[in-house]
């Protein structure tokens, strides 16, 4: 059994957790959403400063909640890529300092590998191989999970991430930041067939479409055009609920179709969904219905594990540490690193 103190500061949550293999002993998340809301999105400089203010308090809280001492901790982990460089620096520097002071190994973690490990925290028997649909504010990928550190990216977005599309459309509809939860709420009272939006498809040079890659920028532009047209042609209030429901249905359909096709083509019978957009009620509904139809097991971790947290980072780090994977104290943060290159960190 391996126990790790893990830090996550890649974007707008300052998070610290203490994890023993797949057991979470404490998990503290200080969200910065209210701070960034006034700007309509995450401001990197503001995020870094806020991480600096909150990090020590979060570490103290995580230690108190877990009721364990440093003697019982085997390693210190932090997300080192991908993410906002200044924000990542705060978590990584703090973890390296703790690692030096307490003489424990340092484990750098890939943020997306953390999202994959969120599944293990909520299903104790869950194990590879499986397909992971990762849908957050910054990422949209289909990842074939083969083993710890062994991943194949089978699909990704060619432009906006799914959550980014929700946030941009939320802004167009004046629903505030983040747009995803607000669109989900409005969609419940709207008609998903009110407007027909294009389901983004990626053309291949040899003809046909890429089966597992996503595109959401055309859909966002279609919503923008519709909003401009409706505002020009009528003085009535915008049919926000109908637009939200139609947009949400299109995103969920695109994600579901490609995820199911990918799982079937690759013979993967289990699918895990992670990232903030995994909270979306329409996506959950469509994936569950299709999963039953095609006899595929679909697992949605609880929301607190889907959105950014340090427990998932600790779970990934504990697995790496148990296999002897540790990082050099000269390791640096990177804004972009493919999930297929995770083993570069060790």
Residue 100 CA from chain centroid, whole number: 30
Write the CA distances from 113 to 65, 204, 210, integer angstroms: 25, 29, 24
Q: How many binding residues for ligand KG4 (CB under 6 A)?
A: 19
Site string for ligand KG4, 304-333 (x = CB under 6 A): ---xx-------------------------
Q: How far is the CB of 118 from ligand KG4 (least distance, A)?
A: 10
Could you say which of Zn ion, ligand KG4, none residue 254 binds, taking C-beta under 5 to 8 angstroms by partner kind?
none
Nearest CB to Zn ion, comparing residues 213 and 308: 308
C-beta of 142: minimal distance to ligand KG4 in Å? 16
Q: In the block, which residue shows the tokens 């982990």? A: 77
Task: Give the 3-state secondary structure of residue 33.
Answer: helix
Kindly indicate which of the ranges 1-9, 49-57, 69-77, 131-139 contains the residues binding ligand KG4, using the contact rule CB under 6 A: 131-139
Give the residue, chosen from 178, 200, 291, 314, that forms a contact with ligand KG4 under the rule CB under 6 A: 178
Establish if 276 lies at the interface with ligand KG4 (CB under 6 A). Answer: yes
Q: Any contact of residue 17 with ligand KG4 (CB under 6 A)?
A: no
Two structure tokens written together for 104: 């424990």
The Cα 55–Cα 30 span in angstroms is: 9
The answer to whether 20 contacts Zn ion (rule: CB under 5 A) is no
Closest CA to 93 of 314, 344, 329: 329
- Residue 275 makes contact with ligand KG4 by CB under 6 A: yes
SS3 6: strand
Question: Which residue's entry shows tokens 């957790």?
Answer: 17
SS3 224: helix
* Stretch of 74-82, 176-184, 191-199, 313-321 lying at the interface with ligand KG4 (CB under 6 A): 176-184
The whole-angstrom separation of Cα 91 and Cα 277 is 24
Please, what is the angle between helix 240-265 and helix 217-233, to 10°?
160
Give the sheet arrangement for strand 130-135, strand by strand. 150-156, 140-147, 130-135, 270-274, 297-299
For residues 278 and 318, which CB has a smaller minimum distance to Zn ion in the complex?
A: 278
- Look at residues 122, 17, 104 and name the one whose alpha carbon lies nearest to residue 65: 17
Residue 26's binding partner out of ligand KG4, Zn ion, none, with CB under 5 to 8 Å set by partner kind: none
Of 105 and 164, the one with the shorter C-beta distance to ligand KG4 is 164
Whichever of 59 and 116 has its CB closer to Zn ion, that residue is: 116
- Distance CA(342)–CA(346), nearest Å, equals 8
H-type alpha helices, the chain: 33-37, 44-66, 85-102, 111-122, 162-172, 179-187, 217-233, 240-265, 281-293, 303-306, 311-322
Interacting partner of 279 out of ligand KG4, Zn ion, none (Cβ under 5 to 8 A depending on kind): ligand KG4
Per CB under 6 A, which region of 160-168, 206-214, 223-231, 236-244 contacts ligand KG4? 160-168
In whole angstroms, the minimum distance from the beta carbon of 323 to ligand KG4 comes to: 26
What proportions of the chain, in percent to the nearest 5, are helix, strand and coil? Answer: 45, 20, 35
With CB under 5 A as the rule, give the number of residues binding Zn ion.
2
Among 136, 157, 254, 327, the residue binding Zn ion under the rule CB under 5 A is 136
Q: How far is the CB of 277 from ligand KG4 (least distance, A)?
A: 4
Q: Is 105 a binder of ligand KG4 (CB under 6 A)?
A: no
When asked if residue 308 is in the footprint of Zn ion (CB under 5 A), the reply is yes
Window of 19-27, 117-125, 130-138, 229-237 that interacts with ligand KG4 by CB under 6 A: 130-138
Q: Out of 105, 114, 163, 291, which residue is the one contacting ligand KG4 (CB under 6 A)?
A: 163
Q: Tokens 């994977």 sit at which residue?
A: 325
Residues that bind ligand KG4 in the complex, under the rule CB under 6 A: 11, 136-138, 163, 166-167, 178-181, 184, 275-277, 279-280, 307-308
Residues that bind Zn ion in the complex, under the rule CB under 5 A: 136, 308
């Amino acid at each position: 059994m391996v126990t790790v103190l893990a830090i996550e500061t890649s974007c707008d949550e300052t998070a610290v957790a203490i994890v023993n293999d797949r057991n979470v002993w404490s998990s503290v998340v200080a969200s910065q959403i209210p701070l960034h809301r006034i700007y309509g999105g995450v401001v990197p400089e503001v995020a870094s400063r806020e991480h600096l203010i909150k990090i020590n308090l979060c570490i103290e809280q995580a230690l108190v909640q877990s009721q364990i001492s440093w003697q019982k901790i085997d390693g210190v982990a932090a997300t080192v890529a991908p993410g906002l460089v200044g924000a990542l620096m705060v978590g990584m520097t703090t973890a390296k300092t703790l690692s030096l002071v307490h003489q424990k190994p340092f484990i750098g973690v890939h943020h997306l590998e953390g999202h994959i490990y969120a599944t293990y925290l909520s299903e104790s028997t869950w194990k590879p191989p499986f397909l992971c649909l990762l849908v957050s504010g910054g990422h949209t990928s289909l990842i074939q999970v083969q083993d710890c550190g062994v991943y194949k990216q089978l699909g990704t977005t060619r432009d906006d991430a799914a959550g980014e599309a929700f946030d941009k459309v939320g802004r167009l509809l004046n629903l505030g930041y983040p747009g995803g939860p607000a669109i989900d709420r409005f969609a419940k009272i709207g008609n998903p067939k009110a407007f027909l939006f294009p389901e983004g498809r990626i053309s291949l040079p040899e003809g046909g479409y890429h089966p597992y890659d996503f595109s959401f920028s055309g859909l966002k532009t279609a919503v923008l055009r519709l909003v401009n047209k409706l505002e020009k042609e009528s003085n009535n209030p915008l049919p926000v609920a109908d637009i939200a429901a139609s947009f949400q249905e299109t995103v969920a359909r695109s994600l579901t179709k490609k995820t199911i096709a990918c799982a079937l083509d690759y013979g993967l019978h289990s699918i895990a969904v992670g990232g903030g957009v995994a909270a979306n009620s329409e996506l959950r509904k469509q994936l569950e219905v299709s999963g039953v139809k095609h006899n595929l097991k679909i697992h949605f971790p609880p929301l607190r594990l889907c959105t950014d947290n340090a427990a998932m980072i600790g779970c990934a780090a504990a697995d790496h540490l148990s296999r002897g994977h540790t990082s050099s104290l000269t390791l640096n943060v990177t804004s972009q690193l493919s999930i297929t290159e995770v083993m570069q960190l060790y």
